[in-house]
Structure 1
């Protein structure tokens, strides 16, 4: 960290000691920020991060392999060790179904798509279709027929590390990133300068996530990026990246094992007025 680096301050924060609730995931839907409630369920936070709902799932069950979020309808699908879990936050409805025997060895990937009554989930065995009416799971034979938009995304990103959220697909291979939505396709080649393990995107920005820093890229001018370094070592941090009312926000979940405390922080990012290097 250089002497001239600007240090960002969070616009809100939440501290949770491990003895109270070790927070290990953070997700966001249209109306809520969602964190785990120990290993037993979820805590639903409002815009000010006040807890407005606590939804119980089961005892020592909540160690999700992957979490899929239906942003517009405030619904979640969690793939747990032995079950699939569906949560309708607004109606506080939870449905657990045992993992079908034929899908016990399936590995789930980041690409998914919700409809009103189903969710499509990309896996190493192909796409699974889970009915949210009958709560049955089956392998989809023809993705294009099942859902055209998802089929296009699936074909484009097959075999690559992908991220799909609010109708935006992003996938990366080495340091090349491709972002696709219903209106445009943006390719960023040989531009990511950090050893990223994850990516996220909005309609105007891309975020590359590494163990020690973040790279924020403006999509309409991809030779321009800003770097956000971590003031303290931050391994395996969880990030949520979104635009709201034309404002860019970053939610960061990090852990301090020495203090045995989880920290949830939200930052407002004014890209055009942000220095090239900042710390948080």
Structure 2
């Protein structure tokens, strides 16, 4: 009976005590909620900590409570911006513009460009198309044309040349078997026992394996005894253990 009475008294004392935070550091004040993990409590959404109390946040019109412990505790809704008077004013969107996805600024519609606080129509020249880029003129020339200050002029491609479609550098290049000379594409003078070389430097051709270039011709290599062609196929070297002496490969000492 004595133990039963003590247990009942303990239960009554527990129920009569104030609700404590999970870590037991103090009672949970009004407008606060216990933390989901660990101990302690946080102010409810729309309230901020002031000493040991949770006081309501003065949230202006067109704003919402952030739930963050730092800062003002509120932020403007999408399409509104904060002013110096702790208020949220609507973002003024000019004609032919739309609110950015971030909700904090506006952007001109396609076909228009920003001019201070307005969106003006892009003057699209002939043989051009809209790019949709915010910076620059907002347009680019179609293939085969190059941009001047406000127009697209045709690219002069010589015979046996082709457009490179490059944004930078040369607008055209010569076809295979031709090389650029003074704005034209001249044919490569291919000697016997040679093939076209795709490299941009040199005469535009290389000698076949077993031949070497002598001025503008490919001459057969006179391969001495105990020698072999190197990996280029256009020169030779002495075999292992042999060394060059007076144009011949002799056994080394």
Q: For the superposition of Structure 1 and Structure 2, which TM-score range results when normalised by the shorter chain?
A: under 0.3
Q: Which has the higher contact order (CA 8 A, sep 6+)?
A: 1
When normalised by structure 1's length, the TM-score is 0.19
When normalised by structure 2's length, the TM-score is 0.21
Give the number of the structure whose alpha-carbon radius of gyration is greater. 2
